[in-house]
Chain A
Amino acid sequence: MGTLRFIEGNLGVIIQLTLQHISIVGVAVGFAILTGVPIGIAITQSRRAADAVLYVASIIMTIPSIALFGVMIPVLSLIGQGIGYLPAVIAVLLYSQLPIIRNTYTAITNVDPALREAARGMGMTPLQRLRRVEIPLAVPVIMAGVRTAVVINIGVTAIAAYIGAGGLGVLISRGISQTDVRQLVTGAIAVSLLAIVADYLLLWAQNGLTPRGVKV
């Protein structure tokens, strides 16, 4: 049909938009891991800190993405980056915090207390316990959080097209404004496929990173 011919004819553009899309999500989630995992570990020390941080992170998730992008504009205009790549990355980073922080926190607090006691009683310092026992055991759950963040944000990034960040959302937004069904369908299918493929690849990575003794 028309859509298939459209795809055939515009493959180069579609690939370029896909790469832009991946770049936004990849960079943002990458940074989100670097901030989220340490925060998740830190809040295991204090119940009150944990409650506060998780509360804030979940509030951020409730903000509709278009509104969050909208807020970025005036804020980042101050440094001349109101629209485009940076606000998209920052918004996705913020959205990724909750799954990653919460999964890290949950994974570490759910480590069997007997293991903690054994580690303490044998003479591990808290840092050694984290490094040798708690984090290796938490990896599968943290990776599950990363997967959640990536899959959600592949969808959210489709909206970033509206603030000029590019990505596959461009096809969808143009498809809407130009009433062009071919672009719309191409964009929608591409985003969905990207999410599915990303999920599979990250599942493979999750299994690779899970310690052998912990694999089901």
Chain B
Amino acid sequence: MIKLDNLTKTFATLRGTVTAVDRVSLEVPAGEICVLLGPSGCGKTTTLKMINRLIMPSSGKIFINGKDTDAYDVVDLRRSIGYVIQQIGLFPNMTVEDNICVVPDLLGWDRAKSRKRAAELLAMVALEPSSFLKRYPKELSGGQQQRVGVIRALAADPPVLLMDEPFGAIDPINREIIQDEFLKMQDQIRKTVMFVSHDIDEAVKMGDRIAIFRDGRLEQFDTPDNVLAHPVNAFIASFVGRDRTLKRLRLVKVADAMRRLAPAIGLETAVTDALRLMDEHAQPMLVVSDAEGRPCGYVACDLLEGRPGIVSEHRRDLPATVDLDEDLRSAVSLMFAHDMRWLACVDSRGLFRGCVTQEDITQLLGDRRRSDSR
């Protein structure tokens, strides 16, 4: 884990003393990603660089896994911390393999062992080792280079990773992909990560916790949902955006908001049975599914009232369904697009699993607002 204790950095300039970082204290539990977020010049990058002493702190302490970093020799400290920068910085005169193995080589690892590890790491980021190990950085695309930059930082298996806007230089499409890959990788390797970003969406997506900086001061240190739901001051409220409630929708999966109460009914179900079911579950509508369990329409009680026969004669088409693992933002988007107040939820095989309604969603956001902790 990483602990910052009253970390401060001041610079003497012609216009007097400038405080770039002002008594910042925070603690990142092991295995979590903490995003340092804020506008330009807020001190987030300076704070990050004080952890691996690229910038010397003016005062305050930094603890990594309980040990005071002042006790380490600077070079040894840096070799035990992974460092990824925005400009990537792969050494053009070295192959991808040699680039990845820079820190293991500095540490004197056995070459065979480090080369094997390089191949494993490449495979982990979906770059075919036999094809990429011997290539040179100039032969790689920007996205590939940054992936190599990330695994280079992981090569010596450091407990801590520092990332300074690592995906900023990549185009938005590749950036999404690399962010997703990194999160998947993090699920496996569980490094403690300090991640600098100026993009609230990236922070919400990547961070287990967000630390918001302004003018060198730490303004709020909380989970993404709490930062969006309870910004502590007007600056943060405007920084995260007036659409912050919509942003919160990204954090919840349909599966968590869905109600499973009423089952789907078959095409052959009698209207009277359908109406009775709707009454029992206090639902104004029911989803109709086919023999395999795939939704193929719905019936509404006001349209069924007094009609004879079976459901298949009266069912209406479902304009859209939503997957269980999509987030609520997609669900709401579909609801608006098709003017529906509810959606049928399906799993990866297309089978009906439940419904999600607009009321469910606002209730959920409200509950999360009313609850104080997560």
Contacts and interface: CB of A to CB of B under 8 A. Distances in A.
A114 B77 CA distance: 20
A120 B54 contact: yes
B160 to A, nearest CB: 13
Contact of A128 (B90, B93, B94, B106): B106
Given A128-B106, A213-B136, A213-B137, A121 B91 contact: no
Interface in B76-103: 76-80, 83, 85, 87-95, 102-103
Contacts of B75: 123-125
A213 B79 contact: no
Interface string A114-136: 11011111111100100011001
A118 B85 contact: yes
Chain B residues touching A, range: 20 to 34
A128 B103 CA distance: 12
Contacts of B54: 117, 120-121
A137 interface: yes
Chain A residues touching B, range: 20 to 34
A121 B78 CA distance: 6
A208 interface: no
A96 B92 CA distance: 29
A214 B85 contact: no
B67 interface: no
Contacts of A212: 93, 136
A122 B79 contact: yes
B261 to A, nearest CB: 55
Name which of A121, A125, A136 has the most chain B CB atoms within 10 A of its CB.
A121
Interface string A131-145: 011001100000000
B52 interface: yes
A211 interface: yes
Contacts of B95: 213
Interface in B17-64: 52, 54
Given A123-B79, A123-B103, A118 B89 contact: yes
A112 B89 CA distance: 8
A133 B91 contact: yes
A107 to B, nearest CB: 12
Nearest to B87: A114
Contacts of A114: 85, 87-89
Contacts of B89: 112, 114-115, 117-119
A136 B102 contact: no
Nearest to A121: B83
Contacts of B103: 122-123
B92 A123 contact: no
A213 B106 CA distance: 21
B106 A118 contact: no
Contact of B91 (A117, A120, A123, A132): A132
Interface in A84-124: 112, 114-115, 117-124
Nearest to A128: B106
Nearest to B92: A213
B259 interface: no
Contacts of B77: 123
Contacts of B106: 122-124, 128
B78 A117 contact: no
Contact of B93 (A118, A121, A122, A133): A133
A132 B91 CA distance: 9
A121 B152 CA distance: 12
A214 B85 CA distance: 21
Contacts of B80: 123
Contacts of B281: none
B369 interface: no
A111 to B, nearest CB: 10
A112 B93 CA distance: 12
A71 B341 CA distance: 97
A118 B78 CA distance: 11
A105 B79 CA distance: 28
Contacts of B368: none
A114 B168 CA distance: 14
Contact of A137 (B78, B87, B92, B162): B92
B138 interface: yes
A123 B95 CA distance: 19
B85 A136 contact: no
Nearest to B96: A213
A137 B90 CA distance: 12
Contacts of B94: 132, 211, 213
Contacts of A132: 91, 94, 102
Nearest to B169: A114
Given A114-B88, A124-B75, 19 more contacts: A114-B85, A114-B87, A115-B89, A118-B83, A121-B54, A121-B85, A122-B78, A122-B79, A122-B103, A123-B79, A124-B106, A133-B91, A133-B93, A137-B92, A211-B93, A212-B93, A213-B91, A213-B137, A214-B92
22 contacts: A112-B89, A115-B89, A115-B92, A118-B83, A118-B85, A120-B54, A121-B85, A121-B162, A122-B78, A122-B83, A122-B106, A122-B153, A123-B75, A123-B103, A124-B102, A136-B93, A137-B92, A212-B136, A213-B91, A213-B92, A213-B94, A213-B136
Nearest 3 CB-CB pairs, A to B? A118-B89, A123-B79, A213-B136
